[in-house]
Structure 1
Amino acid sequence: MVSITSDYISVGGNRHPAAADWDVQSGVLAFGADNNVALWDPKDDSQRGVYSLLVGHTDKVCAVRFYTCPTTGTKLLVTASADHTVRIWRAATGDHRNFMLSQTLEGHTSSVNTLAVGDGADIVASGAADGSVKIWRITVKGEETKGDLVKSIAMKPRFFPLALALKSLQTDGPMVLAVAGTTNIVQIYVAENTPEGPDFTLAALLSGHEAWVRSLSFTLDKQSQAGDLLLASASQDKYIRLWRLQRGEVMRAAPAEDEDPMLGGLEPTLSNKAHQFHAAGLMYSVTFEALLFGNEDWVYTTAWNPSSERQQLLSASADNTLTIWEQDTVSGIWVSAERMGEISVQKGSTTATGSTGGFWIGLWSPDGKQVVSLGRTGSWRAWCYDPDMDVWVQALGIAGHVRSVNGVRWEPTGGYLLSASSDQTTRLHAQWLRDGKQSWHEFSRPQIHGYDLNCVDTLGPARFVSGADEKLLRVFNEPKPIAKLLEKLSSFKQLAVGELPDTAQIPVLGLSNQYMGEEAPLEEANIADGQAQANQAILSGPEQPPLEDQLARYTLWPEHEKLYGHGYEISAVAVSHDRTLIATACKASSIDHAVVRLYDTSDWHEIRPPLAAHSLTITSLSFSSDDLYLLSVGRDRQWAVYRRSEQDPTMFSLMTSHSKGHSRMILDAAWAPISDHTFATAGRDKLVKIWQIAGESFLCKTSINLKSPVTALSFLPQMQGNSLFLATGEDSGKLSLYTVAADSLEATHLGNIDTLISPSKAITQLAWRPSTEEGGIGQDIYSAKLAVASEDTSTRIYAISNMVS
């Protein structure tokens, strides 16, 4: 029986302040990743990264909260999405690290942006862009989990709730709910218990902020004997305000305006008015406690340290900083005790001007000795507290694409994997080998572009070509620091490291990575030389893969060449196996542009004339394993095969084409690794067809029916016995494996990759890892790795073994 396991999942987090939570009991961190929920254990010694993606939501996940049922102790994960639903996931029996979808709560009519859970309470609150907060009662009986709507609160005056916080006023006392959002007011609701459930009524309006409030969080005041609560509210006005909720009546005399002329203008903002309300027959009051300032941009999240030892508040801001606030023991004033991140590094753009920079989320570990933050690139940074040095030290986080991954390609020997995405980056993934452990990580971000990237292919171990939503292709060379890093941590040794360039930098417009080397003017060359040495030092120091700020700044590959000729966005690229030719195509709605252009890699000139056969966009290009044939397929439902000239190896000419290869557009194609030239095509008509050469044409030998449009396919590069292995990917995210008999070309279904570990959106490209291990092939069993790119923003590697022929 074929065995399929998930080796690596690379995915970026959603840029939404409520879209992550770190569970106190299990240590699992869950975060929204496009329309999925990613699970990661930041304290896992194996550094595996994301170990599972929960599939269920049909739109972006906006809010994530862990919840423990107070009566049964069952661990639940509550998630909310732009698909208008709240979903409840239940921890698998005996395994608190994995979750299964248990219940979908419907009722909101717009994107659900925030969630709140209360310790020891059986209720969950959700806030949505329909201008309402809904209270749900959660009950767990046996294997059944149920959520019932008990109250819907319309926001008056109407605003969109962006932040919620829920807490008991006293032990077993009434619940208090804080609500804030697209207004500068924080609303306090108090619950009266009724037979139908908790009935929340508005008790107080807290004013003082001067812009939208993005985050709310309650904690029990550790300095208070009476069990007072502290509420932190963070706003786009760059300030955090602390409020005290306490029992009894508080009488505070407001200072006269002439006591301090300096405070005259600030008097309304720093007002100490006591807001009083009744709950469960007792009097409570809310007073303004402190103003925390020092951030230079919007403050997105606040979180209280869960540790019982220290009262600390963590805030994440759009100014690229993560701040830990503490109360001074002598004066009682709240001060910034620690600041982490990229302090004042990249100035010039703020969230107020439309930039989506900075840190979106900050979270504490369950023991309060580690913090993580999600940045604008979708990557997680981590810091650990070193008690001996009394400093916070940056640790290895995780990274991934934040938009559709459109292409994956292995280095020709399988040394590393390249992925290209609509998030305008190309990323290099490799294995980190150490002390008997191995894990996959992002080792380099070779290309940070100004256009969405559509396709990528390698030109040997130290060069690649990529195509984007621009009319040209770009070729990049690997810099020395990356080659040395891969050799040191991945045991991937390349020849002729001395010939590699030193380093690269992004120019002001951010379109191409400039080469920094000897050819630059003297002044620039000196700067470049210093930069190269700095890069070398930064990347050669630590015995681990690069951190996020290093990836974004020091791991670029310098651009070597631009390939011109196309009139529209690049749609496909393929490199011949001898690496002498690059074939490319662009988006086209006419015959003029639906051509294949060939480039000679010896001097990068275009080989004319271009190859014409199609009338619409060419979706995929592929060279046969002996480079004798070039195959193109397109949206016009046809495939075409071009033959290489024996006299001039750079020239190809049309050998044959099939105008009705499929009944709908053909989305991908791949050659089989056998001497009788054979290829497979994947169509929107839900068919995979296998074609074999017959004289001057190719005949369809086999058709495979699938359940949804087929978007990607790939043959394993090595035959096993008399069998070929074919992987197919569908529009639905489904992945299937087939064996194909080399003589008859009959296909046998080998198995599907379980939907629980499959992507949730269309597969864009598949790539088998080339095998260089002679001893890896047994008599009847083969183990292989399959890389998968998907529109759900994930790049995955599956380990597939027991592939019995």
Structure 2
Amino acid sequence: MAAAHLEYIAAGGNRHPCAADWTEELLAYGSGHNIAIWRPESNSHQGVETLLAAHTDIVNAVKLFRDPTSAKRVLISGSADKTVCIWIEKTDGKFELVKRLTEHTASVNVVGVLPEFSVFATGAADATLKIWKLRATETEVEVDLVQSIILAPRYFPLAIAMAKLQSGQLVIAVGGTMANIQVYMQNKDTFTLAAKLTGHEAWVRALDFTRESSKPDSDFLLASASQDKYIRLWRFHAGEELPEVAAAASDPAMTVFGRSLSNKAHWIGEGDSKHSITFEALLIGHEDWIYTARWFTKSAQDAAPQLLTASADNSLAMWERDADGFWTCATRLGEISAQKGSTTATGSTGGFWIGLWSPSGNTVVSLGRTGSWRAWSYNTAEDRWLRELGISGHVRAVKDIAWSNDGTQLMSTSSDQTTRLFAQWKRDDATTWHEMARPQIHGYDLNCLSAIGATQFISGADEKLLRVFNKPKAVAHLLAKLGGTAEDAADADLPDAANIPVLGLSNKAINALTPEEEATAEPSEETTITKSTLDLSHPPFEDHLARHTLFPELEKLYGHGYEISCVAASNDGSLIATACRASSIDHAVIRLYETKEWREVKPPLSAHSLTVTSLAFSADDKYLLSVGRDRQWALFARSSATNTYSLATANPKGHSRMILSCSWAGRSASHIFATGGRDKNVKIWAVDASSETVNADLKLAIPTSAPATSVAFYTGDGAGSGTVILAAGTEDGSVTVFTISMHDWAVKNTCKIGEYMQPSGAINALRWRPQVQGEETKAQLAVASEDLSVRLFGFERLIG
């Protein structure tokens, strides 16, 4: 059997200002418990290359640099699991975990590095600052704890900046859950508190050092950004004399409105290492908390440094010093103020949590509340910053995935209360996967979904009802244009677009306006969209996804008394089967709805006594299979006369523990099904309907390394006669594909997805991609995981 290869990963970024870093061509960012590696300036637009798994809780801090001694790329990550991990890039480009530091006793929130000295510092919620020495060689890495500083008064560090002063001594600036900045200076082998910089009125969220110019004796500038909405610049000047600006400001003759501009100097060090720290400038312009501040210095001689700040006011600001010496905001990127008041459902980003420069300074990226990265590149011809394609992904566990019937679109739904649609972007030289629409932005955690035909889907959430959605015409046109597929004939009857009314949960269909209609339209509170908005030649930017790609809601389905647990649509699209969480027989029923009038087909189907965890229709829709927490599976057969389902058989001891997933084989073996349970077993059953009664016999039990949380039969043409292919996912994130002979019911081949490619959390759903018309047969498996990733694996051939 051929090995699997990873074709696509969608994974959102963690909302923590320190959880990303960009060095050379690689950007590393925290994504749940993992660290994602991405090349933002790559023209291939492949997105996330890999996810590094080692932490057991949210990754809060990431630093990426090249070690000058070994010339190897080093990644340092800190997590809420109280550990710091050291990764080294190997010759094949993969990062390997080489060291885990466990000295902190609480969540590690920030990491600061000084690569040229192989020194780094970590700050944690145990109110300590730890300083480390890194020694990397070709073969191994050693890390020594140099000093542990207990921060007093006790506070949590959120920002660390490190620099080597002109005297050769190291200095560390620390900010956090108090309004001042503590400066520690190196004295022989230890660091001692040298100064406290006051002025901010709220927590300090970001600190960054830079040299004022490339001259060897130039001053250092420290930028500090705070939740008080201001940025302060501090000058570190060597020698006994104050810098000219500070000395002039201290002159009593310099007064404004009768108040002296006196600038108190803080002195640190002694003798040759004596430095003054003076307040340089106050940067005003942001309207909300500032999360990150990063310097960029051009390589040109005497080039002035630029400062990039990211704020909760949905903007990035670039600050420069003008010819008169005043610091001004030269460029602002992000949201326009008219849209700031809108809810997150209708498009507000919820702030920019991270802002980063590219190493060249020609590109900047920012991470928003939705976990998506935005990017801008400087265009010299137009002398302005232009939007570039970013990446996106869920920011909570992905609960379910579903392919459209034609195999062109993959939808995922998550505890982050969004449903996302992924599809291919086909160009002459490449084909890549991207998020093409965000059909549902909800107020409840979403649990399950199923595709109905090519233009509809249904989703269930923690709100006790199900919602049916239509694909809008704008999205259908975009998918056809970028994916090279023909627009469906049914698309002509679709609504243009959708929006969410204020304080509403239901997406309402709206008509797109032509430019002429928009010019003459009356002002309205409802969002309008022009026909050109989604007429794009590339996948949508995050602004488009959040505002203009919602699917209009067609219907709500009521009946259940608790949160929806699973949903399945019949293969012919005529029926929907659903179940909800239950602790009694009364609620553990399966409700059927027909899709013409969207009415419930009564009575509901009873068999289980606890929550039904998974539902599946056989390929010919003759049977409906259900499995549940009560350890049994039940088979309902369709009556050809009345077209209704009734209980045909059930196995109350199908597994020894709860059953979590089920799947039917394809048409070639249409009455074979699989179940996976918490008893660490996957079982294959064959339906025997030769007599008057229907039975299902156990044909094969396959043990798994951990509880089997998802199973999926491959329904394509790759299996061959007398053979079925089954994928099984487990609670520890492993995914294995079994080739099973139906002649002797034995496993002929197994293909386990490599550990470096597999998810780090439980597998919540596995779905094989249906065969796409006009494309060569290639098996592709979509995987949804608790580690908040959606992954797509390809198999060149499934039979070895």
Query: Within 1, Cα distance between the matches of 2:52 and 2:711?
Result: 24
Structure-to-structure mapping, 1:296-445, within 5 angstroms = 296-309=287-300, 310=303, 311-329=305-323, 331-348=324-341, 357-445=350-438
Matched, 1:461 2:454: yes
Match for residue 83 of structure 2? 85
Residue aligning to 1:57: 55
User: How far did 1:343 drift?
Assistant: 2.7
Does 2:123 match 1:127?
yes
1:757 is aligned to 757
Q: Any stretches of 5+ residues in structure 2 without a counterpart?
A: none
The aligned amino acid for 1:474 is R
Tell me which residue corresponds to 1:103.
99
Aligned-partner SS, 1:577: coil
1:492 equivalent among 482, 485, 488:
485
CA distance in 1: counterparts of 2:522 and 2:412, whole angstroms: 31
What TM-score, normalized by structure 2, do the two folds share? 0.94
Q: 2:196 aligned with 1:205, yes or no?
A: yes
How far does residue 460 in structure 1 lie from its aligned partner after superposition? Answer: 1.1
Choose from 707, 710, 719 the match for 1:709.
707
SS of residue paired to 1:759: coil
Letter in 2 for 1:794: S
Contact in 1 for aligned 2:618/2:670 (Cα 8 Å) = no
Question: What secondary structure is seen at the aligned counterpart in 2 of 1:46?
Answer: coil
Greater shift after overlay, 749-758 or 765-774?
765-774
Cα offset, 1:223, TM superposition? 7.8
**Which aligned pairs between 1:681-700 and structure 2 lie closer than 5 A?**
681-695=675-689, 696-700=694-698
Deviations 1:456-508 (A, max 9, x none): 11111111000011110000001111111011100122223210101111111
Deviation at 1:745, TM superposition (A): 3.0
**AA partner of residue 403 (structure 2):** W
Give yes or no for the alignment of 1:789 onto 2:784: yes
* Contact 2:162–2:170 (CA under 8 A) maintained in structure 1: yes
Question: Which position in structure 1 is the counterpart of 2:556?
Answer: 562
Q: Aligned in 2, Cα 1:256/1:227: closer, same or farther, shift over 3 Å?
A: closer
Q: CA deviation at 1:582?
A: 0.3
1:574 alignment partner AA:
A
CA distance in 1, matches of 2:77, 2:370: 22
User: What's 2:734 paired with?
Assistant: 734
- Residue identity matched to 2:476: A
Q: Give 1:280 deviation, angstroms.
A: 7.4
Alignment of structure 1 residues 601-620 onto 2, 5 Å: 601-620=595-614
Q: Post-superposition shift, 1:271? A: 5.7
CA contact (8 A) 1:208 1:271 kept: no
Contact 2:779 2:797 in 1 (8 A): no
Relative to the length of structure 1, the TM-score reads 0.93
The CA distance in 1 between the partners of 2:356 and 2:671, in whole Å, is 55
- Structure 1 runs not aligned, ≥5 long: 778-782
Q: Contact 1:214 / 1:300 at 8 angstroms: preserved in 2?
A: yes
Question: Secondary structure of the equivalent of 2:269?
Answer: strand
| Matched letter for residue 23 of structure 1 | T
Tell me which of 173, 180, 189 is aligned to 2:184: 189
- Residues 676, 374 of structure 1: CA spacing in aligned structure 2 closer, same or farther, 3 A cutoff? closer
Name the % identity. Answer: 51
Matched pairs, number = 777
Q: What does 1:533-612 align with in structure 2 at a 5 Å threshold?
A: 534-540=529-535, 542-612=536-606
Three-state SS of the structure 1 residue aligned to 2:489 is coil
Question: Which one of the candidate residues 144, 148, 160 is aligned to 1:148?
Answer: 144
**Equivalent position SS for 1:539:** coil
Q: Which residue of the partner structure matches residue 721 of structure 1? A: 720
The residue aligned with 1:274 is 265
Quote the residue 1:744 is aligned against: 744
Alpha-carbon displacement from aligned partner over 1:677-702 (angstroms, at most 9, x marks no partner)? 11100000000011111242111110
Distance, in Å, in 2 between the alignment partners of 1:202 and 1:774 is 69
In structure 2, do the counterparts of structure 1 residues 456 and 608 end up closer, same or farther at CA, with 3 Å as the change threshold?
same
Aligned residue type for 2:583: S
2-side partners of 1:675 and 1:103: how far apart?
50
- Whether the 8 Å CA contact 1:82–1:112 is kept in 2: the answer is yes
1:230 maps to amino acid: L
Q: 2:794 aligns with which of 773, 782, 799?
A: 799
Change (3 A) 1:210 1:356: farther
Contact 1:600 1:606 survives alignment (8 Å): yes
SS of 1:454's equivalent in the other structure is strand
Cα distance between partner residues in 2 of 1:565 and 1:369:
55
Q: Is the 8 A contact 1:481 1:535 kept in 2?
A: no
Q: Deviations over 1:605-641 (max 9, x none)?
A: 0011100000111000000000000000001101000
Partner of 1:175: 170
Counterpart in the other structure of 2:634: 640
Task: Work out the CA distance in 1 between the residues paired with 2:573 and 2:417.
Answer: 25
Cα 1:628–1:526 change in 2 (3 A) is: farther
Match of 1:293 in 2: 284
Aligned counterparts, 1:621-636, within 5 A? 621-636=615-630
Deviations 1:67-117 (A, max 9, x none): 32232222111111001011010011253xx31111111100000000010
